[in-house]
Amino acid sequence: MSRLVLCFFFSSSVPVVPRHLQPQTAPIHTYPSTHRDGAVFIPIYRPVDPEMTRVFSTCVASSTSGAVVPSLPLLTMQEMTKIRFTAGTAFLTGWADIFFYYHFKTFATMLTGNTLWASLAVAEKRIIDALYYISVIASYMIGIGVFQCVNIRYRRQSMRICAAIIPVLFALGDVAISVATPNRRLWIPVLIFSNAFGIINSVATEFSGTLTNVTTGHLTKLTTLIVKYFRQGTVGQNKSSTFSVYQNISVVMGFCGGATFAGSMLKRGLLTGIGTFTTIGVCYSGLFLWKA
């Protein structure tokens, strides 16, 4: 029996080495060489990073055209956490945008539209409307200033502090909606929410490294990277570009998912009364505490 076992092991094409004696290496595949009807991969070994920060996946070669299309490398745990945080923030912002438009026919999460309407109001000499849009912009900027002051003074605790501030501001916005008179129903709540989103968007930019309240830039970058990936095969060779692909996808998918979720709730008549924005604020707070 022992002879049969020895013959089996020595006749195998793959040597059997005890696990604790195996070299700590990982294959990195280069461009494949042509062999028969397809391509074969030539493994080149390197020492594995002790922190296992990245492990590149293999290249995929076309047996007909000979073109090499590299697959995307895996992400680190830190990068995956950042991607999840980015997607969660974009999801909540898409949700909030739908509800803002439903209640106020305006947006408090971004300034482009408010800046355009303010400029138009000034050109048409509609002083009250111009003051309204300018005040919304100013409130948003004050929120950014609040976050920067907190972040400079309490760097390690800034996320937790903002997580405590956001639900309070959203609750105040709900109260302002409930007590405001019809002709004053719009101004004060939008100022409060705009201030809150100045903080929220600053937190998202600081800790995710990108804007999560808009999709234009992300769609532009994503389209550019996709074209380069299929035409040049350069994304897999560039670590920052690879992470950018995942991040841009997370923002677009998260934002669209949040907007779709909000639309389905509105269709069913859910969360349309007082407390709607407080719920969103609590969700933001939970996300910030998770990231902290």
- 51-64, pLDDT tens digit by residue? 334 433 333 333 34
* Tokens (6 digits) for 127: 């002083």
Residue 116 has pLDDT above 70, yes or no: yes
Q: Quickly state the pLDDT bin for 6 (edges 50, 70, 90).
A: very low
Mean pLDDT of the chain: 75
**What pLDDT shows up at residue 195?**
92
Q: Distance from first CA to last CA of the chain, Å, rounded? A: 60
**What pLDDT shows up at residue 62?**
39
* Tokens (6 digits) for 21: 């004696």
Residue 20 has pLDDT above 80, yes or no: no
* Tokens (6 digits) for 210: 């990108």
Gap between the Cα atoms of 159 and 290, Å rounded: 10
Burial class from Cβ neighbours inside 10 Å (0-12, 13-18, 19+) for residue 270 reads exposed
CB count within 10 Å of CB 10 equals 9
Alpha helices in the chain, H assignment, sequence order: 2-11, 77-104, 112-123, 127-153, 158-179, 187-208, 216-231, 239-267, 276-291
Query: Using the 8-state DSSP alphabet, how is residue 71 labeled?
Result: P
Residue 237 has pLDDT above 60, yes or no: no
Residue 33 has pLDDT above 60, yes or no: no
What is the average per-residue pLDDT within 169-175? Answer: 91
Gap between the Cα atoms of 138 and 146, Å rounded: 12
pLDDT digits (tens, 9 = 90+) for 244-260: 788 888 999 999 999 99
**Range of 67-76, 98-107, 109-118, 120-129 with top mean pLDDT:** 120-129
